[in-house]
Amino acid sequence: MLSLARAAASGLIATFASAVVLPAHAQDYPNRPIRVVVPYSPGGGADNAARVIAQALGASLKTQVVVDNRPGASGMIGAQAVVQAAPDGYTVLYDASTYAVNPALRKMPFDPDTDLIPVSLAVTVPNILVVHPDAPYRSFKEFLDYARKHPGKVSYASYGAGSPAHLVGELLKNQARLDMLHVPYKGGAPALADVMGGQVNAYFANAASGLSYVQSGRLKALAVTSAKRMTALPDTPTIAESGFKDFEVLEWNGFFLPKGTPPAIVDRLAKEVRQAVNDPDTRAKLNKLGLDTVGSSPADFARFIQGETRRWVDLAKANKITVE
């Protein structure tokens, strides 16, 4: 009987110890460098924002936060590397809008609904419908009228088939009943160059990459895809206020962790991201890039992802969009 009692006591102690260990690990987090995987090339919008936020996180967490670029396969190579990483909070994914687009268009090597945990929506950025300054349409309404009078003749660029810039064009085609030609490029830079050169009529430029060209006069902004007008472009109307109710498209960046990461670590990182992006100096740097800071909770970010994914799945079906 005594041995049974001792065994039972030992079991209780072991159980208690295991229950204490997990929270202790979360309390100690982080105690070594954190790797932030950006699944896109260096120098792009996501990479630039990630480096600004990583610097703020490193200062707050008192550890090194290293950005690791893993581009390829529309972000899936980098994301899969995080899926396969240990769920300990030391390998983090910093992904973009394509995360919600991929399930609508591509066969994926992992399940984004279950294999990754949304941590925080960090920043958002609207698209700007830009055209050549000498284009025959001086306003968004004139652009729509021109496109309707010339079906199949007006072209719009994107930085790749299935990219957010492509899909926002498809969304406008649906709602405005337009027949426009999609011209995919291998990146935003060549798309912008060809709009400025007159080879393509229009482009839904990410504000982070297109705003400076508008401000310098090399491109003309006709409309923005945010719900409210951009502070930097107060005279440029939103598409929603131009007769398309509820038309709002924002490109975004956010943080994810592998499934199985302890909730305490998820919550801690979300709190740190929120504080980092809303730090005045960090926010000013991100605003200069054309980005709006958010810093959402994991639950709010999860709901946001679900809504975005449903929208693009429905659009891909309606417009019969496929990607080879």
CATH at 161: 3.40.190.10
Question: Which of 258, 260, 254 has the alpha carbon at shortest distance from 277?
Answer: 254
Tell me, yes or no, whether 10 lies in a domain: no
Query: Mean pLDDT over residues 119-134, rounded?
Result: 96
Cβ 26 vs Cβ 48: under 8 Å: no
Q: What is the pLDDT averaged over residues 74-88?
A: 95
Assess whether 262 and 290 both reside in one domain.
Answer: yes
Predicted TM-score of the model (pTM): 0.82
Task: Determine the angle formed by the axes of helices 207-215 and 45-61, rounding to 10 degrees.
Answer: 110
Considering the domain architecture, whether residues 108 and 147 belong to the same structural domain is answered as no
Q: Are residues 265 and 307 in the same domain?
A: yes
Question: Burial, 216: exposed, middle or buried (Cβ in 10 Å; 0-12, 13-18, 19+)?
Answer: exposed
In the predicted model, what is the mean pLDDT of residues 26-44?
89
Tokens of 243: 């007769």
Mean pLDDT of 219-229: 95
* Contacts of residue 13, Cβ cutoff 8 Å, sequence gap at least 6: none
Looking at the structure, tell me whether residues 199 and 131 fall in a common domain: yes
- Of the residues 187, 214, 242, the one at which a domain ends: 242
Domain co-membership, 104 together with 200: no
Label residue 37 exposed, middle or buried (CB < 10 Å: 0-12, 13-18, 19+).
Answer: buried
pLDDT of residue 25: 60
Q: What is the DSSP letter of 47?
A: H
Domain shared by 133 and 202, yes or no = yes
In this structure, the answer to whether residues 161 and 181 fall within a common structural domain is yes
Judgement on whether residues 42 and 107 belong to the same structural domain of the protein: yes
Question: Looking at the 3D structure of the chain, how many domains does it have?
Answer: 2
Contact 64, 58 (CB under 8 A): yes
pLDDT confidence of residue 27: 73
Rounded to an integer, the average pLDDT of 85-110 is: 95
Domain co-membership, 220 together with 198: yes
Query: Does the pLDDT value for residue 22 go beyond 80?
Result: no
Domain for residue 22, yes or no? no
Say how far apart CA 117 and CA 227 lie, in whole Å: 27
Rounded Cα distance between 107 and 294, Å, is 30
Please say which residue of 179, 208, 242 terminates a domain: 242
pLDDT higher than threshold 60 for residue 3: no
Element (H, E) at 21: helix 2-28
Q: Is residue 6 part of a domain?
A: no
Spatial CB neighbours of 192, under 8 Å, sequence gap ≥ 6: 130, 203, 205, 209, 210, 213, 219
Residues 138, 234: one domain? yes
Q: How confident is the model at residue 194 (pLDDT cuts 50, 70, 90)?
A: very high
Whether 153 is in a domain gets the answer: yes
CATH code (residue 273): 3.40.190.150
DSSP 291: P
pLDDT at 24 over 50: no
Residue 223 has pLDDT above 50, yes or no: yes
Q: What H or E segment, with its residue span, contains residue 120?
A: strand 116-131
Cα–Cα distances in Å, from 99 out to 28, 34, 112, 113, 206? 31, 21, 8, 11, 16
Q: For residue 171, what pLDDT band results from cuts at 50, 70 and 90?
A: very high
- Output the pLDDT for position 4: 43
Q: pLDDT grade, residue 26 (50/70/90)?
A: low
Does some domain include residue 143? yes
- What is Dmax (Cα atoms) for the chain? 94
Q: Which of 207, 242, 277 is the last residue of a domain?
A: 242
Residues 135 and 95 in one domain: no
Q: Are 205 and 188 in contact (CB under 8 A)?
A: yes
pLDDT given for residue 290 in this prediction = 83
pLDDT of amino acid 7: 46
Mean pLDDT of 62-80: 94
- Closest by CA position to 269, among listed 38, 56, 89, 124: 89
Mean pLDDT computed over 213-239:
94
Q: What is the rounded average pLDDT of the residues 22-51?
A: 84
β pairing state of 155-158 and 181-184: parallel
Same domain, yes or no: 138 and 112: no
- With a cut of 60, say whether residue 56 has pLDDT above it: yes
Give the integer Cα–Cα distance in Å for 322 and 318. 11
Confidence of residue 292 (pLDDT cuts 50, 70, 90): very high
Note down the domain range covering 93.
33-124+252-318
**In this predicted structure, what is the pLDDT of residue 74?**
85
Residue 25 lies in a domain: no
Instruction: Examine residue 227 and state whether it is found in any structural domain, yes or no.
Output: yes
Residue 135, pLDDT > 80, answer yes
90-115 mean pLDDT? 94
Per the domain annotation, does 190 fall within a domain? yes
For position 8, what pLDDT does the model report? 46
Q: For the chain, what percent of residues have pLDDT higher than 70?
A: 92
Average pLDDT, rounded, for the chain: 90
